[in-house]
Amino acid sequence: MKLIISEKEIAARRIAHILAGNGVDQEKVYGVPVHHFKIDGEDYRVIGLKGHILKVDYPKEYANWFKVDPIELIDAKIEKIPIQKKIIQALNKISSDADEIIIATDYDREGELIGYDAMQLVKEKNALAPAKRAKFSAITPKGINQAFSKLGRIDLDLAFAGRARQDIDLIWGATLTRFLSLSTYQIKDKFLSVGRVQTPTLTLIVDRELEIKSFITTPYWVVSVKLKTESGEEFEATHKKKRFLKKEDAQGVFIKLGDRGTVLGINESVRDIKPPTPFNTTALIISGSSIGFTASKTINIAENLYMNGYISYPRTDNTVYPSSIDVKEIARMLGSSGEYSRMSEAVLAQKKIVASRGKRRSTDHPPIHPTAVAQKAGLSSDEWKLYDLIVRRFICTLLPAAKIKIIIATIDINGEPFIANGSNFIEQNWIKFYPYYKRRDVFIPQLKEGQIITVTGKELLDKKTKPPVRYTQGMLVEKMEELGLGTKATRHTIIQNLILRGYVSGNPLQPSEKAIAVVKMLKKHAEKISSPDMTSELEMYMDGIVRGDETKEDVVDRSRKMLSEVMTVLQNEKDEISQEIKKAIREDLVVGKCPGENCNGDLIVRTARKTKKRFIGCNAYPECRTTFSLPQRGLLVTIREECKHCGYPIVKIIYKGRKPWDLCINPDCPGKDEKYKNYNNNK
DNA sequence: GCAAGGTC
């Protein structure tokens, strides 16, 4: 019997069907599906794993944070521990009769490691069976048949590069997390996490917040006019010098303006607006963000749609349709749904269909596209929203660019030049079907040089320069991808973790004082872990392992030495680090101003001495005895906002896996019922 | 109880 091991169940099923056609039987071994079939009298079995089946961790002796100095974790032994017990049992059971093992996990570094781990487990039961490797970049008949007709061997160096990554992430993460948590007494569920990906990501958010805080707004003035042609068409223009930095200058112009203007010149140009590129995971998350979904929500819904067969695999880097995908056929299929018939026709009416393509081309999976027609009634409203987005995006990638006419007219008013901008779509093409695209027509009438225009109104506008905006989850995922932080499958979980740790909240993301202090201290004393460079260096070293230039041990040991040096600095600066972070944590506990009569105090989150329950009290205690109760479960985040119903402070309560709950602390708040209702609807 | 990476 030949045993084929794939990375996931769906891949196992498809590989079996491609190799055997219809003659595939399925049995369950310890509840795990195993597909079997015969080719030329030879028995085959295919089992799908669930990603990694082993994890790395320290031995039990290191589990107690108080009994182990974090420094010891740097050189401690690391073990591999089973995390998919059922799958391992099933693998053990079926591997004893195998006379050949074929590793058919995804063809990338983690896939090689997953396959290597599985191979080692099989070899414990069956040392004699040779192990081979099927390398394919798409689970299509062509890809699979080619791979199985030309089997290779497991690339040990590639797997070891993955193992180096696992070890280094654990060593740095565990050592620094424990050090920071212990030195600030933030333990149990309040621990302060640190990691190769999460800390640089948090640094991005914190840096942006500091930029916003230190931004100095400068005032400027804009002069604009309302205009009308003889035939009564109205439009607007602003002074050519868009921003006046001195009010007197703007006023000087404003006063000069009379009630007539002359068209000095008109500049017309036609521009293409290209259709969007095919969706990869990052682009989907960004678009999801623009329809109000968090990164995790988009991924969870996409995962569901995929499991139910409506869309293709949602974890991909690829933005170029491979030739194995028949885009025309998919467009035709979508046409059978009333919702999309017009869009489908628009695609099929073209003489030649040219698909747009993005910059990233990889062969892991195709871009995310619809694979079946869904009925609106068969999906939840959120599922439908995302499905509709994916369908429309797909259709648009197959349509020609929109054409837009841009008109810029210069108009003289008493010697002052004004500019009127307008744009009209000449051909909408894909834009008709893509409501997520924001650009709209801006009307401007047909003008002639020398034409006289009536000035019907004039305005002198006070404006201010604005600070940069906070990151939305979508923007952050995009930035992470650009910097090489995390992967398509992990970026949203990294953000989710930062929220769960109490480091950031809200969308757009705002860091807590604790996060600002943690980043400040790590930047100052452990710069390595706060920068994306650590990831790019790691990638470089892993490439070295793959090439055979160095061993996994060399790389991990060098990393251990670096961490030792970092820890020496941190130990020396422990007092400063501890004080700065603890001060910030105290600031995070401030809920808002105390509403007590004649009280100037601040409301603070406190813990009752006897019951250990949390509540809100005034810092002017015992003079002021104002208190408020709080829910005991969930992560509490102070956001220093006031309730729009009663003006009392609002706190955010975050339960794992639920939508954050904005809670007004006032038990008699007139908006209470409404809010509670909303909370129930949204959870 | 720590990380990041797979997948559900």
What is the tens place of the pLDDT at every residue in A242-259? 999 999 999 999 999 999
Residue A203 scores a pLDDT above 80? yes
- What is the CA A533 to chain-centroid distance, rounded? 20
Per residue in A166-175, pLDDT tens? 999 999 999 9
Same domain, A606 and A555: no
How far is Cα A535 from Cα A40, in angstroms, rounded to an integer? Answer: 48
CA of A596 to C1' of B4 (A): 48
Same domain, A172 and A132: no
Query: 3-class DSSP state for residue A370?
Result: strand
- Assigned domain for A107 exists: yes
CA of A486 to C1' of B4 (A): 8
Residue A211 scores a pLDDT above 70? yes
What does the DSSP assignment read for A364-402? Answer: SSPPB-B-SPPPGGGS-HHHHHHHHHHHHHHHHTTSPPE
CATH code assigned at A121: 3.40.50.140
pLDDT of residue A657: 62
- Assigned domain for A171 exists: yes
Protein residue nearest nucleotide B6, by CA to C1': A51
Mean pLDDT of A14-21: 92
Nearest nucleotide to A491 (CA to C1') is B4
CA of A496 to C1' of B2 (A): 17
- Assigned domain for A66 exists: no
How far is Cα A659 from Cα A285, in angstroms, rounded to an integer? Answer: 17
Residue A22 scores a pLDDT above 90? no
Residues 6+ positions from A106 with CB-CB distance below 8 Å: A7, A11, A114, A364
Mean pLDDT of A477-496: 95
Same domain, A167 and A30: no
pLDDT of residue A439: 76
- Tell me the H-state helices in A447-551: 473-483, 491-500, 513-525, 527-530, 533-547
A4 membership: H or E segment, kind and range: strand A2-6
Nearest nucleotide to A493 (CA to C1') is B4
Residue A596 lies in domain: 589-682
Same domain, A265 and A407: yes
pLDDT of residue A674: 58
CATH code assigned at A543: 1.10.460.10
Question: What are the catalytic residues of A?
Answer: 313
Same domain, A269 and A407: yes
CA of A180 to C1' of B2 (A): 11
CA of A47 to C1' of B7 (A): 14
The two tokens of residue A365 are 């999976």
CA of A106 to C1' of B2 (A): 29
Nucleotides on strand B lying under 7 Å from protein C-beta: 1-8
Nearest nucleotide to A187 (CA to C1') is B1
pLDDT of residue A2: 96
- Assigned domain for A223 exists: no
pLDDT of residue A673: 61
Same domain, A19 and A135: yes
How far is Cα A188 from Cα A180, in angstroms, rounded to an integer? Answer: 13
Nearest nucleotide to A68 (CA to C1') is B2
- Assigned domain for A220 exists: no
Nearest nucleotide to A190 (CA to C1') is B1
CATH code assigned at A247: 2.70.20.10
Same domain, A389 and A327: yes
Same domain, A519 and A614: no
- Assigned domain for A557 exists: yes
Q: How many domains does chain A have?
A: 5
Give the HSE-up count for residue A1: Cα atoms under 13 Å, Cβ half-sphere.
Answer: 16
Residue A68 scores a pLDDT above 90? yes
Q: Which of A583, A599, A632 is the last residue of a domain?
A: A583
Same domain, A355 and A434: no
How far is Cα A197 from Cα A498, in angstroms, rounded to an integer? Answer: 11
- Assigned domain for A229 exists: no
CA-based torsion, A552, A554, A555, A556: positive or negative: positive
Residue A324 scores a pLDDT above 90? no
Phi and psi at A587, nearest 5°, equal: -65, -35
How far is Cα A368 from Cα A390, in angstroms, rounded to an integer? Answer: 8
- Assigned domain for A264 exists: yes
Q: Which of A583, A617, A648 is the last residue of a domain?
A: A583
Same domain, A180 and A150: no
Helices A513-525 and A574-588 pack at an angle, to 10 degrees, of 160
- CA-nearest of A415, A465, A451 to A235 is A451
Protein residue nearest nucleotide B8, by CA to C1': A50
Residue A641 scores a pLDDT above 90? no
CA of A468 to C1' of B1 (A): 37
The two tokens of residue A110 are 């983690």
pLDDT of residue A501: 94
Per residue in A387-440, pLDDT tens? 999 999 999 999 999 999 999 999 999 999 999 999 989 999 999 999 988 877
How far is Cα A250 from Cα A550, in angstroms, rounded to an integer? Answer: 67
Same domain, A317 and A440: no
Same domain, A635 and A597: yes
Protein residue nearest nucleotide B1, by CA to C1': A188
Q: Which of A463, A485, A513 is the last residue of a domain?
A: A463
Classify burial at A248, counting beta carbons within 10 Å of its beta carbon; exposed 0-12, middle 13-18, buried 19 or more.
exposed
